[in-house]
Amino acid sequence: MSSLVALPILIPLVAAALMLVVRNLFAQRAISFAALLSSLATATAVLVDVWNTGDIAVSRLGGWPGSFAITLVSDGLSSVLVVVALVVTATVLLFAVGQQTPDEHSPYYHPVYMALVAGISQAFLAGDLFNLFVAFEVLLMASYVLLTLEGNREQIRSGTTYVVLNIIESVVLVMAVGLIFAATGTVSFAELPERIAALPDGVRMGLHLLLLIAFGIKAAVFPLFSWLPDSYPTAPSSASAVFAGLLTKVGVYCLIRVQTLLFPGELSNLVMVVGVSTMAIGVLGAISQHDMKRILSFHIISQIGYMVFGLGIGGAVAIAATIFYLIHHIPVKTSLFLVEGIIERNTGSSSLDDVSGLARKSPLLAVLFLIPAMSLAGFPPLSGFLAKFALVRGGLSAEQYIGVGVAIVVSLLTLVSMVKIWVGAFWGEVAPSSLNNSGGVLRQHRSMASATAILVGFTLVIAVAAGPLYEFATRASDQLLDIERYISAVRSAS
């Protein structure tokens, strides 16, 4: 099984290289889908293995002994996130192909998209800090290109902010990695916990804060989030869907690793306060916006707050809830951006002033929006309710009443802003600007609609399979908290 761990990184990279040589658009599309589906198959095989045996799959690149090899580690959390990421990227690619926009027709779109996928997989699988940094660079480089591929004025403007902030983040991260190496003599996740624990308190806290700042910028937590609502709305819909769903969550994943593996239980009050303020400020930003993409972008921040809050609470129950939240949130958020993409494609605008009456025009699109929107707000049968319920339960058992109270109020406010989109875009008279498209909205965009439907279906599967998934999340969180097991799994791998 361990030989399969590297494939979700390798296959997309090979596809990217191949597509720089083969520049025919149809061949590129075929290669992209083949690469994503075969990566998904291997990642699923690893996940099934990890799920059944409860082991940690480790691959040593190069076959070198000890910490000389590049280790890829796929424990419960990593393996499930790789699978979710590949499902999401594959459906978004289907959406992008159906979108017929100039950026997908560029010969660079598909290779860069594959590089992004490889970077995301590598970030989830990296077994040491330096490779985590490399993975970040790979996915960031790819995201710079995807964000500005159309090269129009607005994209370049917001792209500049995005690039500058992410370079600052990279600098902080590489500084942290360098200082950690200077202090401990290693960057391997399997060796760091012991050596970090032996450091003096001040040094430990400094290193910890550096890592929290670097990953905090990436995850867009309060007060480091201001780049996100500025840059995501200008990206092409397909790109912003992947960014919204996945890139910030890579930051959250890294925060989870930092808080459970490297610095277990340290500064958790700070993390909790940051989480609670991120929730509240993100949702307040969302309420004050009047453009669908911007509302949804602020929601990303608010939702990140929930995960960081769970991480701050700590302990098996809250971490399991955070993992379940992460699994639920990625497809839900992405599908909301995809629905928004269809609306924008159909009406030419994402402002609530220009769009109205969509529920009458296309009831099915309304359903596709309503399911993930209600899920995000936390309505009972949907996955968002279960994720929030688990989180609130974790908070109550740790007696964090203030945080739990804020979480509940924030989910009400989330509902308010979703209702705002619903009332603005789906109710009311059919706007005169959209009268030119007399046929059904979804019939004109079959491939986009089916991609969205697949993803919405995936969120429903998460809700239906919540029992076993939550049990798996619990096991994954037990694995995260059992540092010895991680260390011995990496050491004993051949």
Partner 1 sequence: MIKSKILEELIDRWLTKVGTLVAIFITFRGHNAPGGGFAGGLILGAVFVLQYLAGQQPTIRRKPILNPERLLGFGLLLALVTTAAPLFVGGAPLESYIWSITLPQIGKVKIVSSTFFDFGVFFVVVAVVLLVLTFLGTRGGAISHEPTDGVG
In the complex, the residues that contact partner 1 under the rule CB under 8 A are 3, 6, 10, 13-14, 16-25, 27, 59-63, 69-70, 102-103, 105-108, 111, 149-151, 156
| Minimum distance of partner 1 from residue 51's CB (angstroms) | 23
CB nearer to partner 1: give 14 or 287: 14
| Minimum distance of partner 1 from residue 31's CB (angstroms) | 11
Distance of CA 235 to the CA centre of its chain: 16
Cβ–Cβ under 8 Å, residues 332 and 246: no
Residue 91 phi/psi, 5-degree rounding, is -70, -35
- Inter-CA distances, 374 with 84, 219, 291, 414, 457, Å: 20, 23, 19, 9, 14
| Minimum distance of partner 1 from residue 20's CB (angstroms) | 3
CB nearer to partner 1: give 143 or 459: 143
| Minimum distance of partner 1 from residue 106's CB (angstroms) | 6
| Minimum distance of partner 1 from residue 467's CB (angstroms) | 36
Residue located via tokens 């603005």:
424
Rounded CA-CA distance 51/1 in Å is 12
Cβ–Cβ under 8 Å, residues 395 and 314: no
E strands within 286-372? none
CB nearer to partner 1: give 109 or 369: 109
**Using alpha carbons only, how large is the chain's radius of gyration in Å?**
21
- Inter-CA distances, 186 with 75, 183, 464, Å: 21, 8, 43
How many CB atoms lie under 10 A from the CB of residue 133?
20
CB nearer to partner 1: give 23 or 290: 23
CB nearer to partner 1: give 156 or 182: 156
Return the closest-CA partner of residue 114 out of 22, 49, 45: 22
Cβ–Cβ under 8 Å, residues 442 and 365: yes
| Minimum distance of partner 1 from residue 29's CB (angstroms) | 11
| Minimum distance of partner 1 from residue 93's CB (angstroms) | 17
Rounded CA-CA distance 306/278 in Å is 8
CB nearer to partner 1: give 55 or 150: 150
CB nearer to partner 1: give 21 or 467: 21
